[in-house]
């Protein structure tokens, strides 16, 4: 919608990558706020507002990440699932990982011992460029699992994102939109206690510091909730943000996050030749005396937005992220032939990184010959540095059935990794959204990237450098036959660089992908209940595979993923809200030097589904909610060769809350209600990751 600001609104600030997408609210009842609002009301042109429409609802109508503009979701030729604060709170989600089971087409992958987020979207890993934070690269380098304390919403953008965001996997991208400052005062504190040792407290405070300056600060501290009493962890987060309304057309937004994590590198359970369930899920096979990994992540984002006229806007932004990951861990290398002696190595690793990105874009709305245009043009540049230092010891075996801890570790004399990698990217992009008529919408986009990579490998005593470029097009057509449905078709190409060099020392060609998608979007007339249905076909080429010469690779592999997805979400009536998802995904090897065509992609189930239903009602002047969630994950290949299988599993959870007056909310959740023993993912032949045992968590939330 469009409107001219009133006394409640001072100006606009970034909600994510989309220019001028959220509203900073003036604190009512103050002379300064009223005076500033009057000045703004006289000068500021009409603007698009989407802040609260995308938060706190199961069926938001807009998403900034899908097009980098404020576009109604029903007009976007792409499957998009937005999970806002309401559903995050209903789930009791502390991490991004607690939400993905309720989004179609997202499956869990090896999470590097619980120290980072890693998921497959439509069969393709999201490790590197799978995450954006307010439209900036968020997952390059080394990143702790994403906490929900600062999150306004998660936007699951299905399909290739290269036409807007550059190098990425073709399955999809997750845009994480953080909480913004508001001029209206609001202070919330929450405490959580869990039966498996969880202790967590958060504070969210926002308000005005003056007529044109607003703040927000989120604080979080947490410990406990490990799978064994031999393990412990701690997390602390400080996230300040400031919004400055410079004048009636200009706003400056600053956000920072300082995260400190002290956690074990818990790979999981040893895979005993594919015979799963032979070890209890709390079995620890490293050395508890190793201590924890120390993880630090500091992020700064600065964005400047300016309305040039009623129909044109400009945005400039910069992001700086610095992270470290270091510590000791005794990790497995192989299982002996007796199937009980585990060979291990004491390991020390240090993995620092720095990531700098700058963006600039211009958006304009105009008509030509009766056709409406929303034009977006922009440019980006980034620099990423990553260092890897790993030292290992000789073998320190342990009996997996009768572990004895405390064996003296041998000296860390074997340097297995020592390298520096530098990546430099520059890009330009353009996108035009054409309104051909009220029923027909056409989207076209194009991006050019130049990618430079330098790797200095001090162990192999080699240095490599490569420069490559790629053009990523995108096109989609949407038909809106009525007010409650839309149909779309789309096609896009994407790319992702390959690391390393071939036998001749030449860089590999980048992986290239082509994706086709068609879908149907529905919603009730009151827009409270919505649904997405999509079918897709994706092919990725230049995947690295073994060459004829042992120890070398060639870019000759091909992977395909074809499937269908369905998501239903929203308010059924005055009492019931629901979220349901289903996915059928045939992700397989199509061409490889060593794997047979049709080999399933590791950790990706062919069938997965989930449902969350909550009934809310009023009783004795208070408001209560009771609900349940069920997830099903089908069988998955446990390794690249598909030589063993992770079994299918079904888990259930109960959620409940009691809203006592307007300021106090008490929640009680039971996770893994039936205490199922299951495995979420694997790390090839050696490890499987056990799901968490049953836990009961109570939460007390107070509006201060």
How crowded is residue 526: how many other Cβ atoms within 10 Å of its Cβ? Answer: 10
How crowded is residue 337: how many other Cβ atoms within 10 Å of its Cβ? Answer: 7
CB 315 within 8 A of CB 136: no
Q: What is the pLDDT of residues 321-372, one digit of tens each?
A: 999 999 999 989 999 999 999 999 999 999 999 999 999 999 999 999 999 9
Quickly count helices (H) and strands (E) in the chain: 3, 43
| The pLDDT value given to residue 680 | 95
Q: What is the pLDDT of residues 296-306, one digit of tens each?
A: 999 999 999 99
| The pLDDT value given to residue 464 | 83
Q: Highest mean pLDDT: which of 139-143, 407-411, 630-634? A: 630-634
Task: Give the mean pLDDT of 586-593.
Answer: 91
The CA-CA-CA angle for residues 362, 365, 368, to 5°, reads 125
| The pLDDT value given to residue 505 | 64
Average pLDDT, rounded, for the chain: 88
pTM listed for this prediction: 0.91
| The pLDDT value given to residue 4 | 35
Task: Give the mean pLDDT of 87-107.
Answer: 95
Is the confidence at residue 13, as pLDDT, over 90?
A: no
As a CATH number, domain 62-703 is 2.40.170.20
CB 520 within 8 A of CB 487: yes
Sorting pLDDT into bands at 50, 70 and 90, what band is 17?
A: very low
| The pLDDT value given to residue 675 | 96
Q: Highest mean pLDDT: which of 119-128, 406-415, 552-561, 566-575? A: 566-575
Q: What is the pLDDT of residues 522-531, one digit of tens each?
A: 999 999 999 9
Among 77, 158, 71, smallest CA distance to 119 is for: 158
CB 59 within 8 A of CB 69: no
CB 417 within 8 A of CB 390: yes
Which pair of tokens denotes residue 159?
């399909």
């Amino acid at each position: 919608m469009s409107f001219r600001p009133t006394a409640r609104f001072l100006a606009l600030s970034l909600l994510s990558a989309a220019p001028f997408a959220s509203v900073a609210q003036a604190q009512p009842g103050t002379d300064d706020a009223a005076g500033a609002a009057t000045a703004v009301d006289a000068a500021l042109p009409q603007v698009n507002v989407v802040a609260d429409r995308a938060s706190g609802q199961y069926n938001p109508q807009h998403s900034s990440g899908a097009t980098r503009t404020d576009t109604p979701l029903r007009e976007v030729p792409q499957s998009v699932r937005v999970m806002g604060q309401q559903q995050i709170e209903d789930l009791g989600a502390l991490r991004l990982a607690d939400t993905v089971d309720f989004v179609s087409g997202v499956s869990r992958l090896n999470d590097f011992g619980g120290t980072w987020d890693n998921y497959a979207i439509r069969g393709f890993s999201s490790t590197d460029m799978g995450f954006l934070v307010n439209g900036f690269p968020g997952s390059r380098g080394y990143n702790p699992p994403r906490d929900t304390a600062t999150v306004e919403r998660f936007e699951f953008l299905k399909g290739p994102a290269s036409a807007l965001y550059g190098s990425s996997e073709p399955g999809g991208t997750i845009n994480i939109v953080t909480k913004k400052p508001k001029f209206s005062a609001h202070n919330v504190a929450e405490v959580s206690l869990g039966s498996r040792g969880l202790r967590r407290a958060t504070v969210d405070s926002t308000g005005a510091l003056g007529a044109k300056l607003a703040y927000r600060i989120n604080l979080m501290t947490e410990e406990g909730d490990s799978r064994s009493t031999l393990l412990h962890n701690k997390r602390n987060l400080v996230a300040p943000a400031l919004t400055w309304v410079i004048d009636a057309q200009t706003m400056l937004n600053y956000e920072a996050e300082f995260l400190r994590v002290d956690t074990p590198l818990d790979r999981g359970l040893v895979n005993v030749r594919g015979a799963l369930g032979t070890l209890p899920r709390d079995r620890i096979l490293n050395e508890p005396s190793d201590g924890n990994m120390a993880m630090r992540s500091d992020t700064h984002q600065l964005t400047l937005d300016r309305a040039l006229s009623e129909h044109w806007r400009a945005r400039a932004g910069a992001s700086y992220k610095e992270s470290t990951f270091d510590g000791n861990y005794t990790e497995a290398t192989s299982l002996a032939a007796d199937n009980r002696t585990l060979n291990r190595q004491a390991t020390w690793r240090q993995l620092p990184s720095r990531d700098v990105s700058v963006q600039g874009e211009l958006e304009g709305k105009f008509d030509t010959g009766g056709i409406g245009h929303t034009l977006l043009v922009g440019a980006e540049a980034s620099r990423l540095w990553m260092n890897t230092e790993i030292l290992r010891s000789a073998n320190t075996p342990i009996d997996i059935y009768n572990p004895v801890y405390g064996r003296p570790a041998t000296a860390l004399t074997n340097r297995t990794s020592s390298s520096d990698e530098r990546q430099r990217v520059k890009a330009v992009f353009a996108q035009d959204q054409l309104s051909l008529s009220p029923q027909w919408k056409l989207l076209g986009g194009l991006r050019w990237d130049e990618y430079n990579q330098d790797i200095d490998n001090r162990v192999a005593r080699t240095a490599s450098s490569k420069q490559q470029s790629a053009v990523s097009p995108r096109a989609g057509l949407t038909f809106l036959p009525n007010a409650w449905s839309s149909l779309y078709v789309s096609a896009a190409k994407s790319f992702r660089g390959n690391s390393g060099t071939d036998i001749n020392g030449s860089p590999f060609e980048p992986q290239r992908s082509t994706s086709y998608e068609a879908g149907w979007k529905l919603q009730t007339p009151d827009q409270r209940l919505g649904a997405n249905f999509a079918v897709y076909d994706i092919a990725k080429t230049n995947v690295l595979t073994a060459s004829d010469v042992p120890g070398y690779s060639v870019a000759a592999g091909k992977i395909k993923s074809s499937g269908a997805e369905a998501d239903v979400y929203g308010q059924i009536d005055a009492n019931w809200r629901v979220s349901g998802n289903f996915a059928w995904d045939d992700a397989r090897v199509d061409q490889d030097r060593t794997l047979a065509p049709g080999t399933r992609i590791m950790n990706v189930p062919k069938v997965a589904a989930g449902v969350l239903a909550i009934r809310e009602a009023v009783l004795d002047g208070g408001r209560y909610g009771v609900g349940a969630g069920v997830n099903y994950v089908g069988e998955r290949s446990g390794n690249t060769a598909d030589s063993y299988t992770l079994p299918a599993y079904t888990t259930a959870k109960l959620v409940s809350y009691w809203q006592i007056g307007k300021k106090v909310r008490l929640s009680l959740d039971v996770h893994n209600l039936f205490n199922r023993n299951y495995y979420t993912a694997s790390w090839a032949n050696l490890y499987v990751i056990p799901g968490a045992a049953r836990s009961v968590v109570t939460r007390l939330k107070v509006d201060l």
